[in-house]
Structure 1
Amino acid sequence: MGPQDFHELLTRIAPRITKQDTNYRKSLEPGLKLAVTLRFLATSNSYKTLQYGFRVAHNTISVFIPHVFQAIIDELSDEVLMSPDTPEGWKQVAQSFYNCWNLPHCVGSIDGKHVAIRKPPKTGSLFYNYKDAQYKFMYVDIGHTGSGSDAGVFNESPFKAAIEAVKLNLPEADQPLEYFHVGEDAFALKTWLMKPLPLRNMTHQQRVYNYRLSRARRVVENAFGLLAARFRCLLVTLPLTPDRVIKITHACCVLHNLLLLKNPTIDVAIIDQEDPQHNHEIIPGSWRQDAHLPDMEHLYRGNASIAAKEQRNYLMEYVNSPVGSVPWQDDLLLIHY
């Protein structure tokens, strides 16, 4: 975060974190509060370590940091952390996925990770999220216990309920392929959620389908890697209460989106890249060599519907057809056979 972005953020949240001076002491400047908070998020330094760098007592830091988190969430969430609410908005997301990853009618990539805390008895914390083609979060569900699985958390989320109740205002498809999200094998196959085939000894067409799906699903992996690279506090076991960890995680997601909106290409080296000169071979991002957020438990239960299987077959046929294939897919898969 450069000086200009810092001052813009400070201008937005200063009214929410400014306190009145009293006869006993002068209140801390809002800029100091924000600087301490960002240092904590970026480095995971303890409050006692931060007090020496900023000359603010650790017990004072512990009081104002949660207020800064809440100010960031309240001021920016509705602006930078939200999913579309109109068919036209979803079509823009789908077009972005198609332009970036050549997958039609895809409107998001879904996954979940653990954020470790020093947990009280029978509690834990994780965040579950949904991302667009540009590594931004469009929806987060934070605060489930650490024993939950990917699919279990998703099944309990308001987002899934909204999908099934047709409240997301997804566009009506102009072909047999509905608008859908992509997820890993832990999730149940739905018409609105496509996942890889877990089969061994797959046919070439099935391998192409998995490869094309994985290109779009890689967005979620890289978004997590970028988030953890920016906010190192998420990589340590936080000695805080669950409600504070929820605020920290939420604030990190909001700031992550804000930074991507301000500087969309600043962290290119961190994320995976495709080499267009060599059949779009993957060049791993630097986040893969560093510490990153642990996966949730993969626990899948349930059977796919006939309609979901039909949609998967249609998508498989499409990505293998002259209309839907990409020029390098056959050569790339032959290299990895």
Structure 2
Amino acid sequence: MVNSVELIQDAAIILTVWYLYGRIKRNRAHRRYWVQPYLQTRSLNGSFVQNYWDLRKYEEKFFNYTRMSTTSFDYLLSKIRTGISGRDTNFRLCITPEEKLWVTLRYLASGCSFTELHFSHRIGLSTIRKIVEDVCTAIWDIMRAECFPELTTEAWLSIAEGFQQRANFPHVIGAIDGKHVRVYKPSLTGSLYYNYKHFFSILLVAICDSNYKFIFIDVGAYGKCSDSTVFQNSIFYKKLREFNLNIPKESNIPGVPNDLPYFFIGDEAFSISEHILRPYPGTNLNFTKRIFNYRLSRARRYIECAFGMLTHKWRIFQRPLDVNVNLAIKIIKACCLLHNFVRERHGVNFNEIVFNGDTEGMCEIPRARLLSGTRGSNARNNLADFFVNIDPLPWQNKYA
């Protein structure tokens, strides 16, 4: 009796699977071509064949198209060539590394869709998506050590000197802030990616130097998270707490009674501690505190400008990312790395220095109560007196 029941159940399962397979087979579109005829003309009419070699003759045009010079393009290609090279088969030739990098840089630089690239480059949609993912992955994996090097004590001191010269703020080794990168709502995520600005986003938390280069990024947190929470959960913060970042020891500033540590500067979203300074909270502030807040804001603008440059040059950030979360994270990381890559090789184009259009400076204050560090508060008070009595700027009183 048991065997009969089992046989009936097995037969029912087989019939169900067979029925479902038949439905899928009937509903599947009939594939008429191995390669669509329009795409077969890529070697003659594709954008790469028609434009690549011509644009190389005109450096300015090439730079506008790819956001880097021919020399930088060739150097980047030489580094990642092995990581993005395919293999020819008996059925078709693989897409060359040059064309893969060309397509990816155009996608990041113009903010166009995969469909636009599909028609202009005559490459299949799924193939373009795979190219962008592979190239972004290779750029991050291979170029990360070069564009985000481990900082030595001498490098931190050089960053501090840059902030002292350009922003008139001593002992600053980085400006920190967060940016919400707009995305389409990821499926099955509810409100996890819905931020306080009322759109869906992935959070990018970054630290930059006075040359607008990123020295640390953390990408991938839910849009609903606060900047401070993401930073405190990062590997960088863990190393900071464990004193594993080679940060210089505290030293004296002429006119300040006590030795002061080197610190990162942020907005109200970050808690004050030995190595992190934030503005004085509230609006009812005395003259000295208002001067300090102005000087801090003046130094912190470098991270705002860095975000502005990032979105101005890589215009993929000027629209919601229409890709899955994993690919979006790879795109953000690759763009931040390319930002550093271009800055290092071409310097700063001051026409591109713009404040972040999303007014990221007005970040939310986390709901959790922020505990102020005693040493950080003392350093802030000492610096406030220093800015008013020892090292005032001629124009600072206008902003107090």
User: TM-score per shorter chain, which class?
Assistant: 0.7 to 0.9
Cα RMSD of the aligned pairs, angstroms, is 1.9
Listed one character per residue, the Cα deviations across residues 187-211 of structure 1 (whole Å, up to 9, x for unaligned) are 1111211111123232221121111
The percent of aligned pairs where both chains have the same amino acid is 33
> 1:46: Cα distance to partner?
1.2
Alpha-carbon distance change, 305 to 232 in structure 1, aligned in 2, over 3 angstroms: same
What does residue 242 of structure 2 align with? 165
What does residue 262 of structure 1 align with? 345
Quick one: which amino acid aligns to residue 314 of structure 2?
F
C-alpha distance in structure 1 between counterparts of 2:130 and 2:340, whole Å? 26
C-alpha distance in structure 1 between counterparts of 2:129 and 2:362, whole Å? 29
Alpha-carbon distance change, 63 to 146 in structure 1, aligned in 2, over 3 angstroms: same
Report if the CA contact (8 A) 2:169-2:296 is conserved.
Answer: yes
C-alpha distance in structure 2 between counterparts of 1:229 and 1:327, whole Å? 32
Alpha-carbon distance change, 308 to 270 in structure 1, aligned in 2, over 3 angstroms: same
Listed one character per residue, the Cα deviations across residues 240-287 of structure 1 (whole Å, up to 9, x for unaligned) are 111111100000000000110111132x1221xxxxxxxxxxxxx3x5
What does residue 117 of structure 1 align with? 183
> Which of 126, 137, 140 is equivalent to 2:203?
126
Pick 1 or 2: higher relative contact order, CA cutoff 8 A, min separation 6. Answer: 1
Does residue 231 in structure 1 map to residue 297 in structure 2? no
Report if the CA contact (8 A) 2:273-2:374 is conserved.
Answer: no
Alpha-carbon distance change, 294 to 71 in structure 1, aligned in 2, over 3 angstroms: farther
> Which of 102, 106, 111 is equivalent to 1:35?
102
C-alpha distance in structure 1 between counterparts of 2:70 and 2:340, whole Å? 17
What does residue 207 of structure 1 align with? 290
C-alpha distance in structure 1 between counterparts of 2:385 and 2:93, whole Å? 68
What does residue 11 of structure 1 align with? 78
Quick one: which amino acid aligns to residue 178 of structure 1?
P
> Which of 127, 136, 155 is equivalent to 2:232?
155
C-alpha distance in structure 2 between counterparts of 1:115 and 1:187, whole Å? 20
Quick one: which amino acid aligns to residue 378 of structure 2?
E
SS in 2 for 1:139: strand
> 1:294: Cα distance to partner?
9.7
What does residue 59 of structure 1 align with? 126
Does residue 97 in structure 1 map to residue 133 in structure 2? no
C-alpha distance in structure 2 between counterparts of 1:59 and 1:105, whole Å? 49
Listed one character per residue, the Cα deviations across residues 57-113 of structure 1 (whole Å, up to 9, x for unaligned) are 2121112211100111122111112351x2222111111111111111100011111
Quick one: which amino acid aligns to residue 169 of structure 1?
N
C-alpha distance in structure 1 between counterparts of 2:129 and 2:181, whole Å? 20
Does residue 45 in structure 1 map to residue 45 in structure 2? no
> Which of 257, 261, 268 is equivalent to 1:185?
268
Report if the CA contact (8 A) 1:33-1:68 is conserved.
Answer: yes
C-alpha distance in structure 1 between counterparts of 2:341 and 2:125, whole Å? 28
TM-score by length of 1: 0.88
How many residue pairs get aligned? The number is: 315
Alpha-carbon distance change, 180 to 294 in structure 1, aligned in 2, over 3 angstroms: closer
> Which of 202, 214, 217 is equivalent to 1:137?
214
Gaps of 5+ in 1: 272-284
What does residue 280 of structure 1 align with? none
Quick one: which amino acid aligns to residue 3 of structure 1?
T
Quick one: which amino acid aligns to residue 217 of structure 1?
R
TM-score by length of 2: 0.75
Gaps of 5+ in 2: 1-67, 194-201, 253-258
> 1:292: Cα distance to partner?
7.5
Report if the CA contact (8 A) 1:114-1:294 is conserved.
Answer: no
Report if the CA contact (8 A) 1:72-1:251 is conserved.
Answer: yes
C-alpha distance in structure 2 between counterparts of 1:298 and 1:90, whole Å? 28
Please show how residues 285-296 of structure 1 align to structure 2 within 5 Å.
Answer: 285=354
> 1:26: Cα distance to partner?
0.2
| Larger-Rg structure | 2
C-alpha distance in structure 1 between counterparts of 2:318 and 2:211, whole Å? 23
SS in 1 for 2:221: coil
> Which of 80, 83, 106 is equivalent to 2:172?
106
